[in-house]
Amino acid sequence: MFTSVEICAGAGGQALGLEMAGFKHVALVEIEKEYCKTLKLNRPHWNVINEDVRRFDGKAYRGIDLLAGGVPCPPFSVAGKQLGSEDERDLFPEAIRLTEVIKPKVVMLENVRGILDSIFDEYRRAIKESLEVLGYRVEWRLLNASDYGVPQLRPRVVFVAIRNDLAAEFTFPTEVIHAPTVGEVLGDLMEENGWLGVKQWVERANDIAPTIVGGSKKHGGPDLGPTRAKRAWAALGVDGSGIANEAPDRNFVGMPRLTNRMVARLQGFPDDWIFSGSKTSVYRQIGNAFPPPVACAVGVQIRKCLSEVSKFKIQGA
């Protein structure tokens, strides 16, 4: 079993995916108390540390196999005004600091597609060079969640850095898993209260979803994104202006809203994953998560890389 430390753990999307890939989490660092409650509700044995990552020294975890994290995306998203390193929420420097302290075999960091915009060319170069100075070779790749069976667009950039002394190569996952439609994924949940119109709705919701947007504390109540996203949801027969408390009733007429459980399923969370907090807090936890199936796919490739390292050590012993 390979070990990992995760920063900015959120509600556990990446952690769950890496667990599925065969990693044992020795520490998960998350600043939000409600998110920490979610993590502990689902995995009481996890060592969840409710702390600002800026105060996490990491020394106790020196030499672990993997340092992972989904550092905050607002500094690089269009919605967050793309302030990059000038945004106080930019935690890439903390990830690099912890890489130097912990010296993991592998580093995995994910962020929004916006970090690939030309405005951040120099910033990406600085991240790469900082990790190279610490003795790592760095790759990044734009991954679409829909290529891993997740029924939404959700492009995400994943950085993977391998320590130079490891005699093994990392390759990003290449196998494409067909994503089902929104209707196929949510039909049973929409029908929970006996909605008579569910069959017609499933037929209309015949494509994958647009990217689910979690928003931030500065954002209002939960909804499915800006105007353009709401139009895309409407094309699927979904009212994106809010989140429902429950599925449509038997005689409901019109476009239904999604519940948080439905949104969680669209993110790739299993139905038994419990979220703590108010409806708005839960929606943000779900919407800001890294889909577990994508994290799992990358984690499997990292595990293969680490397994090669272990094999070389045994052969050389």
Q: For 18-42, what is each residue's pLDDT tens digit?
A: 999 999 999 999 999 999 999 999 9
pLDDT at residue 145, as a whole number:
95
User: Could you count the other beta carbons within 10 Å of the beta carbon of residue 213?
Assistant: 21
218-254 per-position pLDDT tens digit: 555 678 888 888 999 999 999 999 999 999 999 999 9
pLDDT at residue 72, as a whole number:
65
Same domain membership, residue 282 and residue 228: yes
**Contact at 8 Å (CB) between 265 and 246?**
no
- Kindly state the greatest CA–CA separation across the chain: 70
Strand, helix or coil at 209?
strand
pLDDT at residue 116, as a whole number:
87
80-105 per-position pLDDT tens digit: 444 434 445 578 889 999 999 999 99
Same domain membership, residue 308 and residue 237: no
Same domain membership, residue 47 and residue 137: yes
CA dist 80 to 74, 218, 229, Å? Answer: 4, 10, 16
Q: What residue ranges of the chain have pLDDT lower than 70?
A: 72-89, 215-221, 310-317
pLDDT at residue 76, as a whole number:
46
Catalytic residue among 8, 73, 296, 305: 73
pLDDT at residue 219, as a whole number:
56
Domain extent at residue 109: 2-176+290-316
Backbone angles phi, psi at 159, to 5 degrees: -95, 135
pLDDT at residue 18, as a whole number:
98
Asked if 296 is an active-site residue, the reply is: no
Same domain membership, residue 267 and residue 150: no
Q: How many domains does the chain have?
A: 2
Cβ neighbours of residue 147 closer than 8 Å, sequence gap 6 or more:
176, 177, 179
Instruction: Tell me the CATH number at 302.
Output: 3.40.50.150
**Contact at 8 Å (CB) between 146 and 210?**
no
Same domain membership, residue 152 and residue 40: yes
CA angle, 129 as apex, 126 and 135 as ends, to 5°? 145
Tell me the C-alpha distance between 173 and 194, whole Å: 40
Same domain membership, residue 295 and residue 282: no
Same domain membership, residue 168 and residue 48: yes
Tell me the C-alpha distance between 107 and 172, whole Å: 14
Same domain membership, residue 154 and residue 31: yes
pLDDT at residue 316, as a whole number:
46
Tell me the C-alpha distance between 317 and 313, whole Å: 6
Specify the length of the chain in residues.
Answer: 317
End-to-end CA distance of the chain: 20
Same domain membership, residue 81 and residue 228: no
**Contact at 8 Å (CB) between 148 and 291?**
yes
pLDDT at residue 12, as a whole number:
97
Same domain membership, residue 141 and residue 9: yes
Same domain membership, residue 113 and residue 70: yes
Q: Which two tokens stand for residue 42?
A: 């689902």
Same domain membership, residue 193 and residue 45: no
CA angle, 191 as apex, 243 and 215 as ends, to 5°? 20
